[in-house]
Amino acid sequence: MKGDKEPEKFLNEKRLHKSLKRKRLIEQRSGSTRVAGKGPGPRNLFFTDSLIGFVARGIGDTYRQKVNYPTIAIPERFSIISDPDAVIGTLNELVGPAVYSRHFSGIFIDHSNVVEYDLAAEYVLGTIASEIQRTYRMARKPIRFIGRFPSNIAERRLLTAIGIVKLLGASHNDWTTQMNAGDLQIFQAHRRQGDEEIAFGSRDRKSNELVKFVDHIDNCLRYNGRALSPFGTESLATYTGEVLANAEEHSKRGEWLLAGYLDNSTDEHMCEIVVVSFGDTFAESFRRLPLHSYAWIKVQPYLDAHVAKKIFSPKWEIDDLLALVALQGGVSCKNTGPYDTRGKGTIDLIRFFEEMHRECTSGSQSKCEMAIITGRTYIKFDGTHSLRQDSTGRDVIAFNDSNTLEDAPDPKYVRRLANKFPGTIISMRFSLQPKFTQPAATQDELT
């Protein structure tokens, strides 16, 4: 009985019980435990299962800087499609000091030397910076982000409209970023770990975001006389939703980004789409499977062929082949039998890219590129290699002349990176210059 205990002892036990309960609740809401470290340093701000804590776990010693106020010089080619290693290295340079520097107080980000950029690189950079800022603010610790604009006016607009300047809520008075609202088409969505899952057929928040994303793509196309048909609208929503649902299920963390951007005031009218998931990579999802599982049995022949042909090397490892095989039609780590239809989302997105490539290069050569980065594997699409059906009717893109996964892919299109991204990025960009498209009636179909 409570009354049998001494009052002071009882109160102390009650306070301890309440304190432990509060600690468990905080850990459940924010991630299991904090990043290892003692004392009041910034590293104790980040739970290991938070986005920044998760990214920090994969950082090598090179990036574990302990500078309190570092400067990051953004590389000349800050593009996931053109130079993913440089982008991932930059992300590590940002996360390293924020997590491991004991008295981290801010950072200077210098864009002045950037020559080439894309939405994927800038949006992921901005998202990670904003998550660092968010954590420090919640802990009521002062932090300051400052930087220098790039000389490219179009990139300045991107930074202030959807990039790091916008995501940090930074104040600026650069007149070159001012323009008519109608000249920009912008979409962005961020599902954090622990948010509700996408429910197809319902109109929850995530389903509404998918609808808005499809509307964004349709608005970009309409600017150049194109339009998604009702079937195209439904199809794009379906397989984009499947890609995101797969990201939630396969990556374990369930955290993703979805963004779109078009600046109509530029000469190229480059439409960009980005899908990012943080968590397990394609290869890591397969490696969790038991060797007797149906999905692993399907990929084993390709592994055996690469071993027999002595294709594997430090520049082409098992995880790279697993990532490539995971892209193929009907292949998914969730496959349980021959009639399982899982594994279509990414293939459908590739098919959408190929359709956009055909539409945008009609009668001319146009920039139309797509890249997938998953872990250390880089896969590039530019129309040179395309989906083709094999003898079983399955869609395959192997990035070699034989279009078979038993042969090595062209290293120009599929290769191993020096740096690892903690998840998967799908980056797509295509030009919507009027000269690259044909006038179309509103009934024209684009899928």
Residues 153 and 186 in one domain: no
119, 261 Cβ separation under 8 angstroms: yes
What 3-state DSSP class applies to 304?
helix
Residues 200 and 151 in one domain: no
Residues 157 and 305 in one domain: no
Residues 145 and 224 in one domain: no
Q: How far apart are CA 212 and CA 407, in angstroms?
A: 41
Residues 241 and 386 in one domain: yes
Out of 178, 207, 237, pick the residue that ends a domain: 178
pLDDT in tens, the chain (447 residues): 444 545 555 555 555 555 555 544 544 444 445 554 333 444 467 777 788 988 888 887 778 777 788 899 999 999 999 999 999 999 999 999 999 888 889 999 999 999 999 999 999 999 999 999 999 988 888 899 999 999 999 999 999 999 999 999 887 666 555 656 568 899 999 988 766 555 544 456 667 888 899 899 888 888 767 777 787 788 788 878 878 877 777 667 878 999 999 988 887 788 899 999 998 999 998 888 888 888 888 899 999 999 999 999 999 999 999 999 988 877 767 666 555 555 556 777 788 777 777 766 654 455 789 999 999 999 999 889 988 888 778 889 999 999 999 999 999 999 999 999 999 999 999 877 654 444 444 444 444
Model pTM score: 0.83
Out of 133, 159, 178, pick the residue that ends a domain: 178
Q: Does 6 fall in a domain? A: no
Q: Does 47 fall in a domain? A: yes
239, 233 Cβ separation under 8 angstroms: no
What is residue 437's predicted lDDT score, i.e. its pLDDT?
42
Q: Does 438 fall in a domain? A: yes
Residues 144 and 204 in one domain: no
Residues 174 and 261 in one domain: no
Q: Does 3 fall in a domain? A: no
Residues 403 and 441 in one domain: yes
Out of 157, 178, 199, pick the residue that ends a domain: 178
| Helix spans in 112-203 (H) | 119-138, 153-161, 164-168
Residues 252 and 399 in one domain: yes
Residues 54 and 189 in one domain: no
Residues 220 and 131 in one domain: no
Tokens at residue 303, please? Answer: 């592994």
- Residue 333's nearest CA partner among 250, 275, 255, 253 is 250
Q: How far apart are CA 146 and CA 128, in angstroms?
A: 15
Total domains in the fold of the chain: 2
Q: Does 395 fall in a domain? A: yes
For tokens 């490696």, the residue is 287
Residues 159 and 252 in one domain: no
Q: Does 33 fall in a domain? A: yes
Q: Does 405 fall in a domain? A: yes
Task: Tell me which residue range forms the domain holding 163.
Answer: 24-178
447, 227 Cβ separation under 8 angstroms: no
What 3-state DSSP class applies to 395?
strand
Which residues are registered as beta bridge partners of 148? Answer: 110
Q: Does 11 fall in a domain? A: no
